[in-house]
Amino acid sequence: MNITPTTARPVWLLAGVMLTVACAVVALVLGPTSIPASGVLQETLDRLTPFTVDSGLTPTQKSIVWNLRLPRVALGLLVGAALATAGATYQGVFRNPLADPYLLGVAAGGGLGATIAFVNKWGDGNGVFDGVQLAAFAGALLAVVATWSMGMAGDRDRPTTSLILAGVAVASFFTALQTFLQQRNTEDIRQIYTWFLGGLNISGWAEVAQLAPIAIALLIVLAMSGRTLDVMAVGDEEAKMLGLAVPHVRIGLLVAASLLTASAVAVSGLIGFVGLIVPHAVRMLFGATFRVIVPLSIFAGAAFLVASDLVARSVLSPAEIPIGVVTAFFGAPFFIVILRTAGAR
Amino acid sequence: MTAAISLHGLSVDIAGATLLHPTTLSVESGTWLSIIGPNGAGKSTMLRSIVGATKHSGDVQVNGTSLSTMKRMERARHLAWVPQTPTIPVGFRVVDYVLLGRTPHRHPLAAERDEDLAVVHDVLTDLDLGPFVDRQVSSLSGGERQRVIIARALAQQAPILLLDEPTTALDLGHQQEVLVLLERLRSEGRTIVTTMHDLTLAGQFADRLLLLAKGQIVADGDPVDVLTEQNLATHYQANVRITHHDGAVMIVPLINDLQTSKGQHL
């Protein structure tokens, strides 16, 4: 008898890395300015590895690769990984397939924070620790804390149900405030609207440097928590009897996933669909345990968002369409294909 | 013999109603205690309060140590609980599910060790579950599934097993199969506590029966002494004839004397 639990096999992880790298390479090579692919790759190797490679690019081309394309791809990788992993964690903690990273009010809170910042001219959403980013981050966390304190004061026997309901109430309240503010400041509506649709249109490495440390640390912690999410899959009561300190584990996982989401939202606005769909696609293709879903969602989310961003800036090039439109427009049919093929197996 | 479990004034009150009156009791190591009683007597409540799934007063000790002084992980290394209707996560294969039993032996962020996989292997072999190891738990029949759930409890390597109605959802053959398995586990040194609906089977397999009624112990002892026509008439409002066959207690409901609530003879 062969005891092989449903786990993220090294070959799958390797495939995930390769897929992610492939998407990143294509996204680097393609852009509104035509630059030779070999030059782009050589320049990237020159910059990111200790090797010295002469790419033969002009200074302008070098600058496009290093200051525009690379940071944008790096941000896409981080944000995609963050949203997909946070979504997988939320689905596990709430034992609910419809849970997404915005379930506890991160989106509504972040949206209110960003709106307050836009109408007060605290920033434009770009740069390092920009006013809009900080306000969105603070608003997102405030909403989660409000949801948590209301939800935990509710039905103690069904903490997850009462959390979800509290999340709905908090999100409605924050959205009401946000809409009110937005309607009173119609001159900012375009900026606000663009922020809500999300995007990776950043000014350079500053945003990446700001997001990377916290995102990578939280991704590692969550990737190690897959087994614990599997224990939670049998429900609070049985998980407790299996020795899991359920209340502590739940708050720990939700804090990690919410921080991760809020950090991503602060930089990229609200990108929908990734956190909901990517973990499900991974589940259907590779197995139902979270020890598979969480680590593979990191790569699948990263690859998916970079690919979506490539589409977002290519279709109407040089104009860009909001990335949230792309994730939904291409993600939904793709998901349905997986749903059908996995169901047929 | 030492007491594997001892209850000291264990009681359960919920919203002003007393579901279990203060109970003091000890269960000897390596024996099988079955809790019986009519619906609503407090069987499950008692079992759940022993494992700490229900809020209770009083103290539960395991091998002389109070459970309230133990962390959850330590408790789960002493007591393994099989609920009446366990939650089976969608898509989990048998090996994934049984591996959950190793939770009290690893840190929440740590991977399982070879030792954990070895325990799962031994348990699955022991319970003849080898052919099912890669099957999804939800695709198994009732009897196979119950064996898988017991396998998860055994993977905890706890000396005490508590099972809430382990045979209720099973047909007769599978009931016997599960009970024979539990008897074997007991003979290997484990302490078993079950709640049971089927009195004949309870009497046949348990060393000791505890008859609960309205949250109180009303009879406690050898099956022959607990399963009496008088006890069943008083606490189950059941009209039965008790016969003995090869040392087993057999309970035969008497239909002729049974009356409907309207006083008509059936």
Q: Which residues of B fall within a CB distance of 8 Å from A239?
A: 103
Q: Which residues of B fall within a CB distance of 8 Å from A221?
A: 109
What residues contact residue A155 under an 8 Å CB cut-off, 6+ apart?
A161, A162
Burial class of B20 by CB neighbour count within 10 A (0 to 12, 13 to 18, 19+): buried
How many residues in chain B?
266
pLDDT digits (tens, 9 = 90+) for B123-176: 999 888 999 999 999 999 888 999 999 999 999 999 999 999 999 878 888 899
Q: What is the DSSP string of chain B?
A: --EEEEEEEEEEEETTEEEEEEEEEEEETT-EEEEE-STTSSHHHHHHHHHTSS--EEEEEETTEEGGGS-HHHHHHHEEEE-SS----TT-BHHHHHHGGGGGGS-TTSPPPHHHHHHHHHHHHHTT-GGGTTSBGGGS-HHHHHHHHHHHHHHTT-SEEEEESTTTTS-HHHHHHHHHHHHHHHHTT-EEEEE-S-HHHHHHH-SEEEEEETTEEEEEE-HHHHS-HHHHHHHH---EEEEEETTEEEEEE-STT-B-TTS-B-
Q: Which residues of A fall within a CB distance of 8 Å from B112?
A: 5, 227
Say how far residue A39 (Cα) sits from the centre of its chain. Answer: 30
Cross-strand pairs, B249: B244
Supply the pLDDT for residue B102.
Answer: 95
Q: Where are the domains of chain A?
A: 36-344
Which member of B88, B100, B110 has the closest CB to residue A242? B100
CA distance A57 to chain B (A): 47
With CB atoms and an 8 Å threshold, state whether B111 touches A238. no
CA distance A131 to chain B (A): 36
pLDDT digits (tens), chain A, 345 positions = 788 888 888 899 999 999 999 999 999 999 888 889 899 999 988 888 888 888 888 989 988 999 899 999 999 999 999 999 999 999 999 888 888 888 888 888 998 998 998 888 888 777 777 888 889 889 999 998 899 888 877 766 677 788 888 999 999 999 999 999 988 988 888 888 888 888 887 778 888 988 999 999 999 999 999 999 999 999 999 999 999 999 899 989 999 999 999 889 888 888 888 998 999 999 988 988 999 999 999 999 999 999 999 999 888 877 888 888 898 887 788 778 877 876 555
Among A261, A234, A263, A258, CA closest to A246: A234
Which member of B86, B92, B106 has the closest CB to residue A238? B86
Please give the helix or strand (H or E) that residue A60 lies within, else none.
Answer: helix A59-63
Please state at what angle helix A159-184 crosses helix A70-94, rounded to 10 degrees. Answer: 140
Name the residue with higher pLDDT: B117 or A100: B117
Q: Which CATH class is domain A36-344?
A: mainly alpha
Please give the helix or strand (H or E) that residue A338 lies within, else none.
Answer: helix A323-344
Mean pLDDT of chain B: 90
Which member of B76, B86, B130 has the closest CB to residue A243? B76
Q: Which residues of A fall within a CB distance of 8 Å from B156?
A: 242-243
A–B: how many Cβ contacts below 8 A? 99
Give chain B's contact residues with A (Cβ, < 8 Å): 51-53, 71-77, 79-81, 83, 86-93, 95-96, 99-101, 103-104, 106, 108-112, 117, 120-121, 124-125, 130, 133, 156
Lowest mean pLDDT segment, chosen from A286-295, B74-83, B244-253: B244-253
Does residue B256 register a pLDDT over 80?
no
C-alpha distances out from residue A304 to A314, A327, A328, Å: 15, 8, 11
- Rounded distance between C-alpha atoms, residue B147 and residue A95, angstroms: 25
How many residues in chain A?
345
Q: Are β-strands B57-62 and B65-66 bridged in parallel, bridged antiparallel, or unpaired?
A: antiparallel
Which member of B75, B101, B109 has the closest CB to residue A225? B109
Supply the pLDDT for residue A297.
Answer: 96
CA distance A116 to chain B (A): 39
What residues contact residue A187 under an 8 Å CB cut-off, 6+ apart?
none
Supply the pLDDT for residue B266.
Answer: 46
Q: Which residues of B fall within a CB distance of 8 Å from A240?
A: 52-53, 72
With CA atoms as reference, the chain A residue closest to B100 would be A231
With CB atoms and an 8 Å threshold, state whether A288 touches B89. yes
Supply the pLDDT for residue A188.
Answer: 83
Which member of A4, A235, A242 has the closest CB to residue B103? A242
Supply the pLDDT for residue A124.
Answer: 76
**A318 preceded by a cis bond (ω within 30 of 0):** yes
Q: How does residue B261 score in pLDDT terms, banded at 50, 70 and 90?
A: very low
Does residue B260 register a pLDDT over 80?
no
Amino acid at position B114, single letter: D
Supply the pLDDT for residue A19.
Answer: 95
Give chain A's contact residues with B (Cβ, < 8 Å): 1-6, 221, 224-225, 227-228, 230-231, 233-235, 237-245, 249, 283, 287-289
With CB atoms and an 8 Å threshold, state whether B96 touches A2. no
C-alpha distances out from residue A26 to A200, A306, A310, A318, B169, Å: 16, 9, 8, 17, 57
- Rounded distance between C-alpha atoms, residue A18 and residue A8, angstroms: 15
Which of B45, B48, B96 to probe the A interface (max A CBs under 10 A)?
A: B96
With CA atoms as reference, the chain A residue closest to B124 would be A1
CA distance A338 to chain B (A): 16
Rounded to a whole number of angstroms, the CA Rg of chain A reads 21
CA distance A4 to chain B (A): 7
- Work out the average pLDDT over B72-97: 93
Structure tokens, A240: 């407790």
Angle CA B70–B75–B80, to nearest 5: 170
pTM of the shown model: 0.89
Count CB-CB contacts under 10 A for residue B113. Answer: 12
